[in-house]
């Protein structure tokens, strides 16, 4: 591995995503491990994106919440750009899901609770995540999930208005209708993504499936909002309804804040799973399984 990034000593590569490569590094001053995302050239080479991202990084540095990955630094040695952040020792929710399949209802509600609390904090700072999905929820060894990659949804290369306004790392499974249309988005776009995430956690499959990204996008725009209960009979009506409301086509018909979503979810979970549902919500064991599987060659 080559020398370092600024003062940070690079120890290895954690992984690669569409928005960039992530390195494990050491902050020698504090003897603290950090994760450094090298923004993909398509992002780092776009001055408008970098200007926006630099501004957002300043706000991201104020993120101070157990359910949001902390941001420590933003470096721009041209032509590169790096975001230095808290290293989360664990596995992404995507990895956890691909090993454990569907979560229990209590676990699904617990994961959503963390995500909504982290989002509520970020929204309070004026930050919209824009790309909430299982890949961007990093779970530590205690089973605490943390939102990563704020503001990193990337402008689709060459996409005009009305096309896929933003490229997501995989398929646009969690994209709100307004984002698909290329319209300005606000925190209610994150609410929509959380609704789609809750649907998937409850049923084991995303709300809209199709053969191509474009066809999935069309379903987000046009198909009636599916009920999680239709897909998995065991899903109780209350929680299914909360997910459906969050996925309303019109932002005005969704929960208007992460706090409102969470309050409704907690109420439904208590009703559907019992007041002590949180005592069964931990995903610590599932994360340990994912870490063990990832450690295998
Ligand atoms: O390649 P995989 O899926 O193993 O989870 C993220 C993904 O891992 C991980 O880097 C890879 C490319 O995005 N990642 C991103 N931010 C991270 C962080 N702050 C992180 N891992 C730990 N801490």
This prediction's pTM:
0.91
Residue with tokens 């699904």: 108
Per mean pLDDT, which range of 29-38, 178-187, 189-198, 278-287 is the poorest?
178-187
pLDDT in tens, 232-241: 999 999 999 9
Q: What is the mean pLDDT of residues 187-210?
A: 96
**Which atom from ligand 1 is nearest to the alpha carbon of 138?**
5
Q: What b/e sequence results for 20-34 when a residue is b if at least 16 CB atoms lie within 10 Å of its CB, and e otherwise?
A: bebbbbbbeeeeeeb
Report the pLDDT value the prediction gives residue 295, as an integer from 0 to 100. 67
Report the pLDDT value the prediction gives residue 93, as an integer from 0 to 100. 96
Report the pLDDT value the prediction gives residue 122, as an integer from 0 to 100. 94
Nearest CA owner, ligand 1 atom 10: 15
Interacting residues of 297 by C-beta distance below 8 A, sequence separation 6+:
none
- Say yes or no: CB of residue 14 within 6 Å of ligand 1: yes
Nearest CA owner, ligand 1 atom 2: 15
Ligand 1 centre to CA of 171 (Å) is 18
The confidence band for 296, taking pLDDT boundaries of 50, 70 and 90, is low
Residue to probe by mutation, ligand 1, list 94, 95, 138, 287, most atoms within 8 Å of CB: 138
The confidence band for 34, taking pLDDT boundaries of 50, 70 and 90, is very high
Report the pLDDT value the prediction gives residue 153, as an integer from 0 to 100. 61
The Cα 32–Cα 27 span in angstroms is: 5
pLDDT in tens, 80-107: 899 999 999 999 999 999 988 779 999 9
- Say yes or no: CB of residue 10 within 6 Å of ligand 1: no
Interacting residues of 142 by C-beta distance below 8 A, sequence separation 6+:
284
The Cα 174–Cα 135 span in angstroms is: 11
Ligand 1 centre to CA of 103 (Å) is 21
pLDDT in tens, 120-146: 999 999 899 989 999 999 999 999 999
The Cα 113–Cα 96 span in angstroms is: 17
Q: What is the mean pLDDT of residues 43-70?
A: 88
The Cα 90–Cα 23 span in angstroms is: 15
Per mean pLDDT, which range of 126-130, 192-196, 227-231 is the poorest?
126-130
Half-sphere exposure of 177 (CA within 13 A, CB side): 17
- Say yes or no: CB of residue 15 within 6 Å of ligand 1: yes
Residue to probe by mutation, ligand 1, list 22, 71, 90, most atoms within 8 Å of CB: 22
Residue to probe by mutation, ligand 1, list 8, 10, 11, 15, most atoms within 8 Å of CB: 15
Per mean pLDDT, which range of 145-154, 166-175, 179-188, 254-263 is the poorest?
166-175
- Say yes or no: CB of residue 69 within 6 Å of ligand 1: yes
- Given a cut of 60, whether residue 169 has pLDDT beyond it is no
Q: What is the mean pLDDT of residues 275-286?
A: 98
Interacting residues of 120 by C-beta distance below 8 A, sequence separation 6+:
257, 258, 259, 262
Catalytic positions are: 131
**Which atom from ligand 1 is nearest to the alpha carbon of 69?**
19
Nearest to 166 by CA among 32, 46, 71: 46
Q: What is the mean pLDDT of residues 204-218?
A: 94
- Given a cut of 70, whether residue 247 has pLDDT beyond it is yes
Comparing 103 with 2, which gets the higher pLDDT?
A: 103
Q: What is the mean pLDDT of residues 39-54?
A: 85
Report the pLDDT value the prediction gives residue 28, as an integer from 0 to 100. 95
The answer to whether 97 and 289 have CB atoms below 8 angstroms apart is no
- Given a cut of 60, whether residue 170 has pLDDT beyond it is no
- Given a cut of 60, whether residue 208 has pLDDT beyond it is yes
């Amino acid at each position: 591995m080559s020398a370092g990034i600024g003062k940070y000593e690079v120890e290895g590569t954690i992984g690669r995503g569409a928005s960039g490569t992530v390195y494990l590094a050491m902050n020698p001053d504090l003897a603290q491990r950090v994760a450094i995302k090298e923004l993909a050239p398509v992002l780092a080479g776009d001055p408008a994106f970098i200007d926006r991202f630099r501004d957002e990084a300043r706000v991201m540095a104020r993120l101070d919440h157990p359910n949001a990955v902390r941001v420590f630094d933003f470096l721009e040695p041209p032509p590169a750009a790096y975001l230095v952040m808290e290293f989360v020792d664990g596995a992404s929710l995507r990895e956890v899901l691909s090993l454990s399949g569907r979560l229990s209802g209590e676990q699904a509600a617990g994961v959503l609770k963390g995500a909504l609390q982290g989002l509520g904090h970020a929204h309070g700072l004026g930050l919209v995540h824009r790309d909430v999905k299982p890949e961007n929820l990093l779970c530590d060894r205690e089973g605490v999930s943390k939102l990563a990659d704020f503001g990193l949804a990337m402008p689709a290369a060459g996409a005009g208005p009305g096309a896929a306004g933003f490229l997501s790392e995989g398929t646009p499974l969690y994209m709100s209708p307004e984002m698909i249309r290329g319209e300005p988005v606000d925190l209610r776009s994150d609410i929509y993504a959380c609704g789609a995430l809750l649907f998937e956690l409850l049923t084991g499959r995303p709300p809209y499936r199709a053969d191509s990204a474009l066809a999935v996008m069309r379903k987000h725009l046009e198909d009636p909002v599916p009920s999680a209960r239709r897909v998995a009979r065991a899903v109780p009506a209350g929680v299914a309804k909360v997910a459906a409301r969050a996925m309303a086509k019109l932002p005005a018909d969704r929960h208007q804040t992460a706090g409102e979503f969470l309050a409704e979810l907690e109420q439904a979970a208590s009703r559907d799973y019992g007041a002590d549902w949180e005592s069964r919500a931990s995903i610590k064991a599932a994360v340990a399984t994912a870490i063990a599987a990832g450690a295998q060659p």
